[in-house]
């Protein structure tokens, strides 16, 4: 029997497992199996914690469809908590696919909500970094693409996951049909995004506050996507919707704080939010078949519900 955890950042759910041998299993198939709904509701992905030569630990992210993400801000917060508690420290570096990033323990967003900050990097507006093809342009910043929408202006950025962010009116948030159709097209065979893209619709909701809903590549609509929220906060500063500094980003799963600093193109981003541990499990393999057994349930999700209730009340007032 081997133990793993079910965790979430802003309602973005994962199974978290630590291995000392990254070659010991087929993690793609294991992740796809874990994320099935019959496994206690499934999850958006698998967070694999492995040894690193250059940092305190290494994180890999296997999406529900078996694809591997370059980064995951919500997942990294959960890995940060796991590693920092295990090592009894308040900050460290964790290796991800594209960068080694600083993670730190922070003051609770709301009382009794374990909160962590993670660096989001690297950042690029070069369409080749997504990759994305559009009119042979090098960048796409606040532009309409008629084949996408006649009304929505889009910005593309990688952080390093690829993101297409649309500034929308309230009607596009109330009815997700357009976002789902566009996202499905851009994550299938198309002429724009050969590797797919995360598609976020962003709505300004107050001073230094935005709402973001994301259709995540390899997953679909999620309660939250950490890199999408951070990228959206960055785009909101570029479009002068909010000022640089701390931006509150609401999402279907809760809210986070994003810190944005842009020193003449030298962008610094931090994502601050919950890292909630929900349950622990044992799993074992018999004759090539995995089996999952729940061991314990924490009281952390009940405490997190206070945060989601706060968001509901806040957005009702803003509406």
Residues 139 and 104 in one domain: no
Q: Please give the angle made by the CA atoms of 86, 92 and 98, to the nearest 5 degrees.
A: 115
Domain around 195: 127-270
Query: Which residue positions in the chain have pLDDT lower than 70?
Result: 1-2, 287, 317-319
Residues 257 and 132 in one domain: yes
In the chain, the N- to C-terminal Cα span, in Å, equals 49
* pLDDT of 2: 66
- Look at the chain and report how many structural domains it folds into: 2
Residues 171 and 78 in one domain: no
* pLDDT of 310: 85
Residues 89 and 24 in one domain: yes
- Integer Cα distance of 158 and 79 in angstroms: 22
- Integer Cα distance of 125 and 139 in angstroms: 6
Residues 218 and 156 in one domain: yes
- Integer Cα distance of 184 and 206 in angstroms: 30
CB 211 within 8 A of CB 203: yes
Residues 90 and 211 in one domain: no
* pLDDT of 231: 98
Residues 86 and 178 in one domain: no
* pLDDT of 316: 82
* pLDDT of 319: 59
CATH number at residue 36: 3.10.310.10
**Interacting residues of 147 by C-beta distance below 8 A, sequence separation 6+:** none
Active site annotation includes 78: no
Which H/E stretch holds residue 142?
none
Active site annotation includes 89: no
Q: Please give the angle made by the CA atoms of 309, 310 and 315, to the nearest 5 degrees.
A: 100
Pick from 169, 199, 168, 175: nearest CA to 185: 199
CB 8 within 8 A of CB 77: no
**Interacting residues of 212 by C-beta distance below 8 A, sequence separation 6+:** 200, 201, 202, 203, 224, 228, 229, 232, 249, 250, 251
Of 72, 78, 92, 258, which residue is the catalytic one?
72
For residue 261, the 8-state DSSP code is E
Residues 132 and 239 in one domain: yes
Residues 49 and 183 in one domain: no
Q: Please give the angle made by the CA atoms of 159, 242 and 73, to the nearest 5 degrees.
A: 30
* pLDDT of 313: 87
Pick from 165, 175, 86, 153: nearest CA to 125: 165
Of 35, 78, 89, 225, which residue is the catalytic one?
225
**Interacting residues of 169 by C-beta distance below 8 A, sequence separation 6+:** 151, 203
Residues 148 and 237 in one domain: yes
């Amino acid at each position: 029997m081997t133990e793993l955890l079910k965790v979430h950042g802003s309602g973005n759910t994962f199974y978290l497992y630590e291995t000392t041998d990254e070659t010991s299993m087929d993690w793609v198939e294991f992740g796809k199996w874990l994320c099935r709904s019959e496994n206690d509701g499934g999850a958006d992905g698998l967070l694999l914690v492995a040894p690193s030569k250059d940092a305190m630990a290494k994180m890999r992210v296997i999406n529900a469809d078996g694809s591997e993400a370059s980064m995951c801000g919500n997942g990294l917060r959960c890995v940060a908590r796991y590693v920092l508690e295990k090592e009894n420290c308040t900050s460290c570096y964790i290796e991800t696919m594209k960068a080694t990033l600083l993670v730190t323990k922070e003051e609770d967003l709301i009382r009794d909500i374990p909160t962590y900050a993670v660096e989001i990097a690297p950042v690029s507006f070069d369409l080749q970094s997504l990759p994305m093809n559009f009119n042979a342009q090098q960048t796409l910043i606040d532009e309409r693409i008629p084949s996408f929408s006649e009304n929505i202006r889009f910005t593309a950025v990688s952080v390093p996951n690829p993101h297409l962010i649309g500034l929308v009116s309230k009607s596009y948030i109330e009815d997700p049909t357009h976002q789902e159709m566009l996202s499905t097209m851009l994550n299938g065979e198309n002429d724009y995004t050969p590797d797919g893209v995360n598609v976020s619709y962003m709505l300004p909701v107050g001073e230094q506050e935005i709402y973001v809903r994301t259709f995540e590549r390899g997953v679909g609509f999620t309660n939250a996507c950490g890199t999408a929220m951070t990228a959206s906060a960055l785009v909101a500063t570029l479009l002068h919707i909010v000022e640089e500094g701390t931006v509150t980003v609401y999402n279907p799963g809760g809210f986070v704080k994003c810190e944005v600093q842009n020193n003449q193109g030298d962008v610094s981003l931090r994502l601050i939010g919950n890292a909630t541990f929900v349950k622990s499990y044992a799993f074992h393999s018999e004759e090539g078949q995995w089996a999952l057994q729940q061991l314990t349930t924490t009281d952390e999700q009940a405490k997190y519900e206070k945060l989601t209730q706060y968001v509901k009340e806040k957005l009702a007032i803003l509406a």
